[in-house]
Amino acid sequence: MLHQIIRSDIQEMTAYSVADAPSSCIKLDAMEMPYRYPEELKARLGRLLAEAPENLYPNPAASGLQEALRQAFGISDKADIALGNGSDELIQLLTLLVAKPGAKVLALEPSFVMYRHNAKLFGLEYIGVPLNEDFTMNLPAVLSAIETHQPALVFVAYPNNPTGVCFKREEVQALVDAAPGIIVVDEAYGAFSGDSFLPQAGSRSHLVVMRTLSKIGFAGLRIGYAAGHSLVMRELAKIVPPYNMNQLSLAAAKFALQNRAWIDRHIDILKQERSRLSEAFSDLGMKVFSSEANFITVKVNDAVKVFETLRQNNILIKKLHGTHPLLEQCLRITVGTPEQNDAVLNVLKNITTSILKPN
Ligand SMILES: *Cc1c(COP(=O)(O)O)cnc(C)c1O
């Protein structure tokens, strides 16, 4: 009975699986920031949250968080800002915005899985353009696919997940220039890279720049934001659920932005650790893809073996192997604290080179 009522394409989907890791585990699978607030900041945040009006519906538009984001990240007055319950929600709403029969969504492959997922969910055709083998962009192929398919929506992750590679700015600019519909530059890892399209937000009517607080310390708050021209953002605002953000997250996010120095200090540490880990991985024989994110993607000879060995040593990373042909024998490791990274290196040092070094 129910299986006749519920959409068969949804019945065929598998749920996004969140690894349930024991709390003792070194969790390097989901690009979470490994640092927590020190006691003093925790105490101040605690007092602030106690004052947040949990009895009242939130008013995200009047919360002041948009203004705080504008100040903190230099978003132009020309851009409107939308808040999402994680940027995942904004990906969903941006897709819904263009979900007309026959409309297409285009993204690069492999990239963030939610682009395809949401396209399918809203009945849109999904065009995935493969990256080059080194995870750089095949610009002529993307431009030609845009020309052929005239996608209503293009997603580019800049830097890309799950590869960590940042495309060239000129390439992304070329996609912005060529896109006939909305183009979303997803900068979930923007804080860890040297470049951003955020200053351009608001200057082109079809450009939306999306960011999140998740990768810079606050994945638990679920705060994503998108900045773009009012022509798009005004329409988006109509379909954002009125109470999509909650009082506690709004208050905690504003507090986080008032304490920017804490965030920046830890981003710096993680960037240094990214260099150190990349070099060490290379020295161990693994192929390292140059990352501008807070994770490192590597290719080894036996990804399953490396993944399992780390797992046995209480370290959880992401096994990319098996998720896309270009990701054969690939693993993704979130950059952790120096101690966590040392633990990873200690395990890897005891794995023979023939398993680590790709053919
Ligand atoms: C993590 C990630 C997101 C989702 O971030 P949330 O704000 O936590 O929903 C969006 N895009 C990319 C490319 C990501 O890797």
Among 261, 299, 296, 297, CA closest to 275: 296
Identify the pLDDT of residue 18: 76
Identify the pLDDT of residue 295: 98
Among 89, 161, 292, say which to mutate for ligand 1: greatest number of ligand atoms within 8 Å of CB: 161
Q: Which two tokens stand for residue 353?
A: 């080179």
Identify the pLDDT of residue 273: 98
Identify the pLDDT of residue 277: 98
pLDDT digits (tens, 9 = 90+) for 109-127: 999 999 999 999 999 999 9
pLDDT digits (tens, 9 = 90+) for 9-21: 999 988 877 777 7
pTM for the whole thing?
0.97
Q: Which two tokens stand for residue 226?
A: 């998108």
| pLDDT higher than 90, residue 291 | yes
- The topology under which CATH files domain 56-259 is Aspartate Aminotransferase; domain 2 (3.40.640)
Ligand 1: which atom is nearest the Cα of residue 160? Answer: 13
Ligand 1 centroid–CA 353 distance in Å is: 33
Residue 224 — φ and ψ, nearest 5°? -120, 160
Ligand 1 centroid–CA 211 distance in Å is: 8
- Tell me if 20-37+260-356 shares its fold with 56-259: no
**Does residue 213 line the site of ligand 1, with CB under 6 A?**
no
CA distance 287 to 158: 21
Predicted confidence band of residue 137 (pLDDT cuts 50, 70, 90): very high
pLDDT digits (tens, 9 = 90+) for 155-199: 999 999 999 999 999 999 999 999 999 999 999 999 999 899 999
Identify the pLDDT of residue 22: 81
Q: b/e for 113-145, b at 16 or more Cβ within 10 A? A: ebbbbbbbbbebebbbbebeeebbbbbeebbeb
Q: 90-94, long-range: CB within 8 Å, 24+ apart, which pairs?
A: 90/210, 90/224, 90/225, 90/226, 91/115, 91/118, 91/155, 91/184, 91/186, 91/210, 92/118, 92/121, 93/236, 93/239, 93/240, 94/153, 94/182, 94/184, 94/208, 94/226, 94/236
Domain 20-37+260-356 has CATH 1.10.540.10: no
| pLDDT higher than 90, residue 1 | no
For the chain, what are the domain ranges? 20-37+260-356, 56-259
Whether omega before 241 lies within 30 degrees of 0, making that bond cis, reads no
CA distance 36 to 252: 13
Identify the pLDDT of residue 248: 97
Identify the pLDDT of residue 222: 97
| pLDDT higher than 80, residue 97 | yes
| pLDDT higher than 80, residue 7 | yes
Predicted confidence band of residue 278 (pLDDT cuts 50, 70, 90): very high
